[in-house]
A and B are shown apart, each in its own frame.
Chain A
Amino acid sequence: MLMALFHILIFPGLLFLGVYGLIMAYLDRKIYARLQNRQGPPWFQPLADFLKLLGKETIVPELANKKAFPFLPVLALAAVTTAYLYIPLWSMSSLYPFEGDLIVILYLLTLPTLCFFLGGWYSGSVYAVLGSVRVITQLFSYEVPLFMALLTPALLANTWSLSGITQYYAAHPLYILINIPAFIVAVIACQGKLERVPFDLPEAETELAGGTFVEYGGRLYAIFKMAIDCELVVVASLIAAVFLPFYTGNPWADFGLYIVKTIVILFIFALFRTIMARIRIEQMVAFCWKYLVPLALIQLIVNLLLKGVLA
């Protein structure tokens, strides 16, 4: 019981995730800045932003739903933290693996997106409502290719458990080459999930002045921000677990390897953000359904055929 609480709250739960989330946010900003030929922020900038927001007054707008408005950021953070517990990090097995936890993780990762939607919807500002409509439109576009990209490796591994998938691919490292198209689809779809350029339409500063989060401020916004930073870590860990299953067996070396893997994925994310412009919502929907979904479908067929061949 005590151990479980330690896992949930301190390591690898809330505290570690929060700290690593801030480090990732810093690295993201620094890499982004260096790619743009800028200096970039000092290492404590995300922490300073977080603390500053915590110290600010929390304002719930008059038109907002008084119950849902403050509750949603906490729910988003809780969902992200829970998802982290089921992802194999520096070993081939997560802390509490069970058959079907991949589905649970994907479900838990959809919750923050729904929180963004509801948070915008309940805040009673026209910008936020427009932003939340975009959140949902976007959700229906990237979620399908993302799910397909993450579930097709599971098909080949013949298990719905993320730990099982990791163990299977760690045992057959060459098979990850088959999943390269799914990896590409997953990385692109994750830009939508994390609402980063080119898919940052829900917050689109220059159009919607911050979109879904426009009415959030102070502590509530700090928690939302933290949830977004943590989501970045969780998504990067998920991709690392499914598509980069390399382990040495030594826990310390594996921990280092985990950090390297997530930072490599972060670098790819930052590169996307640097080289692209924000696209329009109808372009985003068309792109996801015209290119990502067919690519994921091809991967599905390939994996189905291979499953027959390999069996």
Chain B
Amino acid sequence: MSKEITIPIGPQHPSLKEPGCFTITLDGEKVVKAVVGVGYNHRGLEKACEARTYIQDLYIIERVCGICSHTHSTAFCQAVEELAGVVIPRRAAYIRVIMAELERLHSHLLWLGIAGHEIGFDTLLMYSWRDREKVLDLLAMLGGNRVNYGINTPGGVRRDLEPQMAEDIKTVLDYIEEQNKYYIHLALSEATLAARLGGIGYLSRDDAIKYGSVGPVSRASGIPDDVRVIDQYAAYDDIPFDAITDDHCDVFGRAVVRVLEIMESIKIIRYALDNMPDSELVAKMPRRIPEGEVISRTEAPRGEDIHYIRANGTDKPDRVHVRAPSEANWHAMAHMLEGDYLADVPIIIAAIDPCYSCTDRAIVLQDSDSGKEKIWDWQGLRQYSIDFYKKRGFDASQIKVAEKKIII
């Protein structure tokens, strides 16, 4: 007897940290079909950016993502600097690298904890988040905030790194390195961990290329896809480091890539602290950015982050587009989920380290029967809700609503 049942994981589900809906069709405990539904968090960021000046945009761009805020603002600033033809001072480039790598440290430690939680291994969550806290303290010391550091500005950085800070960073790095060695040992040798992570969410090298995966997901499939290496920015051209790859192609490989990357990040920060040149922090930037368009890439903890800016010669951008790394990784998700067990669904989803709200740009509803695209305006949405409640015995049509004016 084979009976298929469909269960929704999301939009509200304990394993999802943000709303997303995964409709899973199960045969027993096996996933036969998975439909990925994202788009619950459209925030209109890009439109908001067009209405503001470049400096004001920085605040919005930094809030694209709560975890990788620095990488987004770096990509944005780089794009603006390229349009204006400004080269940032060397010291600023180094500080950007240090912030980016500290951010990678805290993001990967966060991921490690979430991965542990998803497979019911809460001890790993508690341990790695305890260590992550120390990195957050460092970031707060450098930028003034735990997650939105506000350190980038077009033309350079806003705060300097003092010698005492460098000492503090090194102390914490020693501690993290020691702890991380233990996590590497744990990831590679703990039996239940290997049993739960090995072989699930398989994504072969060819498939990773076909679906356009980025970051640790593609690196775990053996593709050395690291923007820090292939399109060097900031001060990465000065600093010796390796792009970590792994050929497990599964969730286990993604975990290995991340824990090894923590070691690389520690190496990078140490080198950057020791070899930081003395210079100005900010280069002079024009207020009006000359006409043109530019694409800027950075390596976020989750993968390649792309920012596109079209400038029209004023102090406001004509168009801003942000392609957050998670967006590139969603495409392979259904492929990775199918054929695995229901028990593995949360960890496979978590293995790409998804950021739901960073990905959601604009939504076009597609009718599930006809496949036609449908765009709902405000009135249409309201009418739908009135009809919805009328069926359930509540008439809302008499309620007066103020005319909604969308201010741009």
Q: Which residues of A contact B (CB under 8 A)?
A: 35-38, 126-127, 130, 197-198, 200-201, 204-207, 209-210, 274-283
When C-beta atoms are compared, the residue in chain B nearest to A129 turns out to be B5
When C-beta atoms are compared, the residue in chain B nearest to A206 turns out to be B15
When C-beta atoms are compared, the residue in chain B nearest to A278 turns out to be B120
Indicate whether A37 sits within 8 Å of B343 (C-beta atoms), given known contacts A130-B7, A277-B192, A277-B196: no
B29–A204 CB distance below 8 A:
no
Q: Which residues of B have CB within 8 Å of A205? A: 14-15, 120
29 CB < 8 A contacts A-B: A35-B123, A36-B123, A36-B127, A37-B127, A126-B7, A197-B121, A198-B192, A205-B120, A206-B14, A206-B15, A206-B120, A207-B342, A207-B345, A209-B14, A276-B121, A276-B192, A277-B116, A277-B119, A277-B121, A277-B124, A277-B196, A278-B121, A278-B196, A279-B195, A280-B195, A280-B341, A280-B343, A280-B344, A282-B29
When C-beta atoms are compared, the residue in chain A nearest to B350 turns out to be A206
B13–A209 CB distance below 8 A:
yes
CB distance from B325 to the nearest CB of A (A): 23
A282–B5 CB distance below 8 A:
no
CB distance from B199 to the nearest CB of A (A): 11
Indicate whether A281 sits within 8 Å of B196 (C-beta atoms), given known contacts A200-B120, A206-B346, A207-B345: no
Identify the interface centre among B123, B124, B192, B342: most chain A CB within 10 Å of its CB: B123
In the complex the two chains form, what is the Cα distance from A36 to B26 in whole Å?
35
In the complex the two chains form, what is the Cα distance from A278 to B6 in whole Å?
23
- What 20 new A-B contacts, CB under 8 Å, besides A205-B14, A277-B192? A36-B123, A36-B127, A126-B7, A127-B7, A130-B7, A130-B342, A204-B120, A205-B15, A205-B120, A206-B14, A206-B346, A207-B345, A207-B346, A276-B121, A277-B121, A277-B124, A277-B196, A278-B120, A279-B195, A281-B341
CB distance from A148 to the nearest CB of B (A): 24
Q: Which residues of B have CB within 8 Å of A35? A: 123
B14–A36 CB distance below 8 A:
no
B118 within 8 A of A: yes
A281–B29 CB distance below 8 A:
yes
B343–A281 CB distance below 8 A:
yes
Identify the interface centre among B29, B117, B341: most chain A CB within 10 Å of its CB: B29
B193 within 8 A of A: yes
B395 within 8 A of A: no
B122 within 8 A of A: yes
A275–B14 CB distance below 8 A:
no
CB distance from A199 to the nearest CB of B (A): 10
Number of B positions contacting A (CB below 8 A): 31
Q: Which residues of A have CB within 8 Å of B239? A: none
In the complex the two chains form, what is the Cα distance from A204 to B196 in whole Å?
14
Indicate whether A36 sits within 8 Å of B126 (C-beta atoms), given known contacts A130-B7, A130-B342, A281-B343: yes
When C-beta atoms are compared, the residue in chain B nearest to A196 turns out to be B120
Indicate whether A207 sits within 8 Å of B15 (C-beta atoms), given known contacts A126-B7, A277-B120, A277-B121: yes
Q: Which residues of A have CB within 8 Å of B130? A: 37
Q: Which residues of B have CB within 8 Å of A126? A: 5-7
When C-beta atoms are compared, the residue in chain A nearest to B124 turns out to be A277
B192–A204 CB distance below 8 A:
no
When C-beta atoms are compared, the residue in chain B nearest to A198 turns out to be B192
Q: Which residues of A have CB within 8 Å of B7? A: 126-127, 130
Across chains A and B, which 8 residue pairs bring their CB atoms closest together, nearest first? A278-B120, A277-B121, A206-B15, A36-B126, A277-B192, A206-B346, A277-B119, A280-B343
B346–A277 CB distance below 8 A:
no
B119–A278 CB distance below 8 A:
yes
CB distance from B33 to the nearest CB of A (A): 15
Q: Which residues of A have CB within 8 Å of B126? A: 36-38
CB distance from B189 to the nearest CB of A (A): 13
CB distance from B179 to the nearest CB of A (A): 11
Q: Which residues of A have CB within 8 Å of B190? A: 277
Q: Which residues of B have CB within 8 Å of A278? A: 119-121, 192, 196, 343
Q: Which residues of A have CB within 8 Å of B127? A: 36-37
In the complex the two chains form, what is the Cα distance from A36 to B129 in whole Å?
11
